[in-house]
Structure 1
Amino acid sequence: MSADYSASKLPPFSLLEEPLLTFNTEDTSLDVNPLRGIVQHGAYSSSIFPTYTPELRIATVGPVGGWNNLRTLVNTLRSSHAPSDRKQYVPAFRGFENTFNVPLVAAKTGEAHIKLPDDVGSLGPEGPPHVRLLHALRTAMQRLALVHDHFDVVLVHLPDAWQIAFRAPGFDAHDALKALGAGHGIPTQVINDRVFTFGYKASLAWRLSIALYVKAGGIPWKLAPLKGVPENTAYIGLAYALRGNPQEAHYVTCCSQVFDADGGGMQFVAFEARDPVKDVDEARRNPFLSRSDMRAVLARSLTLYQSRNGGMLPRRLVVHKTTSFKPEELEGALDALSAIQEVECVEVASNAGWRGVWLQESRNPTPQRKSEPDGYPVPRGAVMQRSGRSALVWVAGNAPRAASRGDYYQGGKSIPRPINIVRYAGVGPIELTAFEALALTKMDWNNDALYDPVPVTIRYSQRLARTIANVPTLPGNAYAYRLFM
């Protein structure tokens, strides 16, 4: 791929380096590919994880008819598999124990394995299907809470035969399960029927194994120090939800996700706004907080950061959200963060109406045709500045450094769209703000991909916001992210 931009007719742009990941505390074991890094160096916490979790113990909940499939699935994760898809990115999976340095075992007490009826009509004593399913899940979590010291993660099989019970007005089975588990501090892994027939075993094993490892308290990788980013930088992601029926809701719940500079320390804050929404229609289009509520949620988020860092404040704090910052939100943010030296408030929008095509010199040039589209899209990390405070950032694109050979475009289809970042507060090069957003797309521990389409600050807070929207009774507490993965 040519790096000669002298012939470009576009506004000036730059190409950021692929952010490095670290796999040890000394930041000496580095790679840009998370899976390759685990294979070569081990998971970030692999040296200490076995000291407090010598075995990763699995509990199970599901219908009787799927019990053998669950057993086979666990055996699949224990086994080795050669990649059969995304071969230029996915390395061979060597089995769970060889990969993460702990064995994967079934919980040894029978009380941790709960068999449910195959018929959705038999799940609960009465009511429509979703009420029966909710009753069965609530009872299962209550039973598991009594033997929580005998397992680390619960596999919950929700079969296709129960689909009639998965959704109803104001109900989502996945989110209800996560909320029930969070109430007891129990991490859950949902399994559907497709998992049992998924043909790409190496990808399946990587994806599920990373998720189980994280939900049990492990850390697969972190961000290596980012060049140009000051030490003691922290990140907060905000997402909003209207509790209950959006047609009648009058209060916004703000979901805040707090991250350390390396992308770790992931905890949620669910904050119930005190000031009522005056215009519900506007709030549905673009939820926002009053000055006092923004001050309160960020102060609470900052307290959470300090509790993990010996009372210390970050030197620099970057706040991400998907919508524009209203003047009263900026005022509230700066009120709460007045003791911090540098504060940035950044809108990260994933619906930018832009596309880009990477051009190469034509193989048969003519005066009318000096260039032609390359076989791969715009490189990941391309940044085109739109103004002094906004830029387009291609977080999806060609990433050859992550490939074992040649070029690599995740997904391999369509023309990637950039995210649009707009800085409402803060100073310094917009490329540094873009680089941080690019790096944070690599910190979603809920999959095995090279990157997520949006920074993890946005993705994680959106997940909690969705859960709160579907489970309005979830208390507005601080939660570990692994409970909602």
Structure 2
Amino acid sequence: MKYHFIEEPLLEFGKDEHFCPRQGIANYDVYDTKFTARKTEILIGIVGVSEDVEKLNAWLERCKSFIPSKANTKQPQLFTSFCGFNENTGFRSKFITSTEITRVINNTDIREILKIKNRNECVTQAVELFSNHIRFIAQNKLVDLIVCIVPKSFENKIVIEKKTEEEIEERLDAEEKPELEINFRRALKASTMFLGKPLQLIREYSLSNPSKGQDEATKAWNFCTALYYKAMQTVPWKLKRDINLPMVCYVGISFYRSRDKKSIQTSLAQIFNEKGNGVILRGTPVEIDKKDRQPHLSDKQAYDLLLSALKEYKFALDTQPARLVLHKSSNYSIDELDGFRKAINDAGISSYDFVTIKETDIRFFRDGFYPPQRGSMFSLSETSHILYTRGSVDYYKTYPGLYIPSPLEIRTVEFDSSPNVICEEILALSKMNWNNTQFDGKYPITIACARKVGEIMKYLSEADKPQIRYAFYM
């Protein structure tokens, strides 16, 4: 067994580089300030009951100014002061809200919906109520995104999700129960996707109970960064790239099931270039393999899906990548490998890496109180490696988690790059999450977005045309 430590990957911002998104934005501005053709105003449509709209406007006003970090903290790098969202600091932009682009929901309408005894019907009516107001704004007003405030009265009746990523560590192989009850957030995003305006849902309690959950500065960092990414159609930061190395295209292949878990699964491709810009492609239904009980593509499906992904990449950048990195959370079948190889060959790509990223029950321990460092890589063989993407972080001076961190197993199936390079890229891609500015994400974006996209996709019919931007799913 060999041990290798991967230094924290650098990110690129407007004026310089840093490995922390918060410090990078605050000190060096968001990445797209490098370009002349950029927006400096974000028009925010709002949907909610009257008192919640007032709370959101107050919070947006608060976010315009500097917000100090958590008081008396022992980890000042983990709890960073918020620079303020305005034209003079890191984001170099401003929020614009107005009654002209706000739709107030009547409390009477909310009460009528809550009288419905059947929960699925109750949620369906709530989705329709919000959808109607969203549609009016999207079709009649000029906005960049729409923020919907989920009222307190919806808690435990219409919105029942209680677990968050901070409360329990997510697993890619977690057994999913049939989604027999309608999920308000997912159904609302799916039903309004055709309007072309990203949604940001925020629950009322996060606006009215500042003492609960995250401190104000952290909440502002995550909220404002998510709004910026969704509204501006750009990225606040990107991976640092060695200009001496060839262009790379990162592709994640995954599958999602129907809500009742009875129908066959559908393939999904997520393509990310080095700037972090992603494209979502929905593939065709697939069958479950009788031997390993896993969904697999036929050779033709694998060929068609990957070739479509590469065409999207070429259209966006006007060139083909010199190297392709393919991530899957399940094993590769012989047919899949044949189809992927043929697509790569037909696209004229000379270098590729086929990688499986899976959960593992293997754990490592070190002396002292803290778990292994993020970036710890243990090579069990030439093709099997354990990578800690969550763990102790020297910069934070702690392990910023609640549970013993579980590493990922990285299997290099066919590869031209070294395992060290492949794992370094996985660690770097774990930082491309614009919903969370804490940089120690568990999964690379190629895999992380799969579940988010699949959650929404299962609410779309085959006739519905899904949006290709990740902003519509996060």
1:3 paired residue number:
none
1:429 paired residue number:
418
Task: Assess, with a 3 A threshold, how the Cα gap between structure 1 residues 174 and 335 changes in structure 2: closer, same or farther.
Answer: same
Q: Shift in Å at residue 201 of structure 1?
A: 0.6
Q: Shift in Å at residue 243 of structure 1?
A: 3.0
1:198 paired residue number:
210
Q: Report 1:180-329 matches (<5 A).
A: 180-196=191-207, 197-199=209-211, 200-217=215-232, 218-225=234-241, 230-247=245-262, 249-250=263-264, 252-262=265-275, 264-273=276-285, 277=287, 286-310=294-318, 312-329=319-336
Structure 1 residue 34 and structure 2 residue 42: aligned? no
Work out which of the residue numbers 39, 42, 45 in structure 2 matches 1:59. 45
Given that 2:53 and 2:104 are in contact with CA atoms closer than 8 Å, whether structure 1 keeps it comes out as: no
Given that 2:193 and 2:466 are in contact with CA atoms closer than 8 Å, whether structure 1 keeps it comes out as: no
1:45 paired residue number:
32
Distance between the aligned counterparts of 2:411 and 2:258, measured in 1? 28
2:469 paired residue number:
480
Structure 1 residue 418 and structure 2 residue 428: aligned? no
> Secondary structure, in 3 states, of the residue corresponding to 2:32?
coil
Given that 2:43 and 2:144 are in contact with CA atoms closer than 8 Å, whether structure 1 keeps it comes out as: yes
Task: Assess, with a 3 A threshold, how the Cα gap between structure 1 residues 384 and 62 changes in structure 2: closer, same or farther.
Answer: same
Q: Shift in Å at residue 462 of structure 1?
A: 2.1
Task: Assess, with a 3 A threshold, how the Cα gap between structure 1 residues 195 and 253 changes in structure 2: closer, same or farther.
Answer: same
Structure 1 residue 161 and structure 2 residue 168: aligned? no
Q: Shift in Å at residue 103 of structure 1?
A: 1.7
Larger deviation, residues 161-170 vs 419-428: 161-170
> Secondary structure, in 3 states, of the residue corresponding to 1:306?
helix
Deviations, residues 378-408 of structure 1 (Å, cap 9, x unaligned): 11111111111120011112222x34xxx23
Task: Assess, with a 3 A threshold, how the Cα gap between structure 1 residues 148 and 270 changes in structure 2: closer, same or farther.
Answer: farther
Q: Shift in Å at residue 148 of structure 1?
A: 4.2
Distance between the aligned counterparts of 2:250 and 2:400, measured in 1? 26
Amino acid paired to 2:399: Y
Q: Shift in Å at residue 452 of structure 1?
A: 1.2
Work out which of the residue numbers 368, 373, 376 in structure 2 matches 1:379. 373
Distance between the aligned counterparts of 1:77 and 1:398, measured in 2? 30
Given that 1:295 and 1:335 are in contact with CA atoms closer than 8 Å, whether structure 2 keeps it comes out as: yes
Amino acid paired to 1:79: S
In structure 1, the gaps of 5 or more residues are: 1-10, 359-372
Q: CA RMSD in A?
A: 2.5
Given that 2:180 and 2:259 are in contact with CA atoms closer than 8 Å, whether structure 1 keeps it comes out as: no
- Alignment length (residue pairs): 440
Distance between the aligned counterparts of 2:111 and 2:304, measured in 1? 45
Task: Assess, with a 3 A threshold, how the Cα gap between structure 1 residues 267 and 307 changes in structure 2: closer, same or farther.
Answer: same
Larger deviation, residues 110-119 vs 421-430: 110-119
TM-score w.r.t. the length of structure 1 is 0.84
Distance between the aligned counterparts of 1:271 and 1:447, measured in 2? 28
Q: Percent identity?
A: 23
Distance between the aligned counterparts of 1:308 and 1:37, measured in 2? 26
Larger deviation, residues 335-344 vs 434-443: 335-344
TM-score w.r.t. the length of structure 2 is 0.86
Q: Shift in Å at residue 287 of structure 1?
A: 2.2
Amino acid paired to 1:202: A
Given that 1:124 and 1:136 are in contact with CA atoms closer than 8 Å, whether structure 2 keeps it comes out as: no
Larger deviation, residues 236-245 vs 449-458: 236-245
Given that 2:28 and 2:90 are in contact with CA atoms closer than 8 Å, whether structure 1 keeps it comes out as: no
Distance between the aligned counterparts of 1:439 and 1:158, measured in 2? 34
Distance between the aligned counterparts of 1:131 and 1:415, measured in 2? 39
- Misfit runs of 4+, over 6 Å: 124-127
Work out which of the residue numbers 117, 120, 124 in structure 2 matches 1:131. 124
